[in-house]
Structure 1
């Protein structure tokens, strides 16, 4: 995918605080940076170069990982640079950073900077203001770009100067260079504001070279060899009206040389043309003589046969062309369906870049139905095209639902210690993972698996929990009994009751409290840890239906997940109005769902093994609002999971292996 790029600055304020950079970091991978710093910034050039260099280094280093995650990591590095240099930069700069990974676009901006997409005859603003005052780059916009799209980045809002219609009309011209020149002229004529603009044409032809970057300040000095990115002098057609360009003797020499070269080329072309004409004339005369001799030898009867044969061949040719070009009404209708599908996907792309996921979903569903209509028809003419469209629909659906595919990294193989192991769950404690099956607990330190510690010869583990402050793992067995493990020592615990309550899940909270989920009794039982034993069970829940409950999590309130994919919340034992909101198109349900959160985390996590994914929800007061999902399609039979305290990585366990991936 080729890029034609123009960068220009109009009405510069003379402080030389505008910058633009570009770097190609691999095949199909391009980074563009446009930034305008405020007058109170100290050493703006060095700051701009360090910000851009940080992004380039990070993306280059993470070239093999998921590119959305890689871009987020790069922005974290850039935000750290901003924090470190805050004293030199009291006011936030206006910056756009765009990262192209083939046709995928990842975009962020700060301050009043804005970005626009022109696709066919429509203009869309694709930038969003930052919602986090603590960091400079907080939003990441994701979308796909297509050939003939035009992207415009600016340090300020251009739609105050040119209208939406004017903007889109400008880029309907056949010449991309002329369109950019007209945009620049329109901005100069209508505004006195200092504007720094980069225009990128996807697949557009340009005669001005690959790109033109950087402010007048940087173009006046020799770029340091250590500066990251391609540092290019300002375009002549872009900067000449703002900065006086002096004619030089060298320019005169170049002009004279070019004229002489053109004259020599003209003479060479004239000579070649004359020779070519002579060759053609000789060939034509020879052909003419040969045909006359051959025609003189043909009889009248032979002439008749030639005419009849020629007519037959002509009729056959016409018939074949008619058949090849004939299209039935049914085929025409199917072709129209495919066109509807493709157009819907193209419009959905634009809406996704704008952030309008709801309307994009409507168009994607429309495309899916159209493609399905083609596939369900009797003809096979358009089957391949319809299948291709459906694959695009699936990809777009991931974008609509903010879904990412990951390739989990294997951490440990439990079967190396026990080839018959069948894990039930996993617990995090002190940066290590503890995996348990029905009888044993396996401590893993990254890829090292320790020998399994047997809990009991007669009891089977049902569920486990962590009391991290006391470095204790707690397990519920089918005896029923609660068993603790501290420092490798197994301790069966007693209760003030005659026996422990049965249950399917348990969780600790704080140093003292233990909760057991018991759907059979429609209750959550609460125990208090004493010095060497537990109190009797207290009925905790009230006014809640737990008959279909399968998993719970606790952060002060208790969240209970049911096998029908519904969630309930209890606070101090009483049910609170609560539920999932904005759920993805593919529902989740089943006995194997798992719920996870802690008091230190902002999100609720749902493990959906049947669809090989983890769903992430904002943990609100009344709703758990869908945020995104992460798909691990290459790993099946996942039993349990946990998320690290920083909410950056998830660890999953299958029957015999541990995997890790970024969220």
Structure 2
């Protein structure tokens, strides 16, 4: 039995409160034979700093469990009971003179056996065959009314099988409020995914803390154990009323996770194999395919004297068994495909481990960079190992990005308009507008595109401004389409603003120039007037949106917020957007900012107030994307190169 443990320690910095986790697998063969020891502890104290108690408990537990006597006896159950007795003695002294609250869970795993005890609040759960078992509540283990909160509980023991998962943790309020969600993740996901989910919660929720251990049980190479989920009767508590009684540990029985109470721990006697006398060994052999092939190959020396039929069979066997496989191997080696896949897997695995380390430190930007690089390593390299790690990396990336399961919904197919190619999409779900590269504007109707106007320019930008659509060619030409009159007004500016980014709000256009100036063109639908609105620093702005506040998406992964020409703050995306990324916000009191990254093939939603990532949506199922727009209903419209239009409702 090989337990693989991962610490889950995330503190929210509450005053006078401490969490601690110990995972110790033993050092040397004698300690390893006793198995692994784990502690989960929580301490809250008054003005006197008692944080050192945590390290003292871990040190005493490890020292007692792997004591010289325990190493000689090699009895993990007895070692565990001795450890509890010593801890009870030490804690008695502390409780007499100090004021503190302590919750402590202790467990040991040796071979296929596990031993559990606790003091105060503690939970441990088992996941087996997609079933969740709350171990402490699955039996009437304690008399709650008479339990001494300052003594360790009854010892509980049981059997584990390969594939089991355990999670032991301190059930603070922030955890119990999310217990149902965490149960599902624990049962259905891997150890690493469970860890990453906890890390994400700790990063996003300031009041969340978690102290625990996730243990995955590896292959058993011992005698199989029957699968009966019932628990047996409980043993007596390890407490002592007098010093004399403390010398004898009063634990009479243990709980069994599996198996019946009469199950013998003795190994079956193995009979020695019978002595083989050479004369008794038969010289006959069972006929096999390999023997037949060997016979054919042995006949190669007689190939010249063979008949046509046997010669044909022999050459066919030679081709199938030797020449073709050898040719495949030579080709794979010469082409480098075998070595390439191995190197790709190793590089991706190394980056994946570093990404997990970054996540444990809440370095989401670094983790995303590493995960993206790891995916690039295995891109285009296909075998079972690279496919598996690619799926794991993608799953972790989706977890970091809070990716939802919402899929794009097809709302329009070209139909009779199959010959029309459009490159821009904008507007409402029911009747959006689409434009081609020449500036021809269409309204989308069921199964058809109906032309409603022509911007008469290369419409590099088409944006919504109330009842109007505004197009800009990044030179001097602006076209304004009225949804009411269905007419287009062409405006030629006196000089090019040298701008590649624009947005519109309440009849005004805002542009960022290549020199970092922010220009305002007031009253676009009337007597247009230009003014300098503000100045940026050295940031390279990729896109902008406005709702009264101006939001500028920079290539360094920051959203700069401005009001009346002054910088008021910024939002850190925790990733660097690709050059063609866009930012959207409906100007109707929406609390959300939407960032579309065409390389990552996701739309990210951020809360304007908390400045935190809320969710993300995958768009890769909508084929190759030509354009994307987030409308006033906060729905995502996606135009693909095959002329189809998709929608994601957020």
Give the TM interval when normalised to the shorter protein.
0.3 to 0.5
What is the TM-score of this pair, normalised by structure 1?
0.44
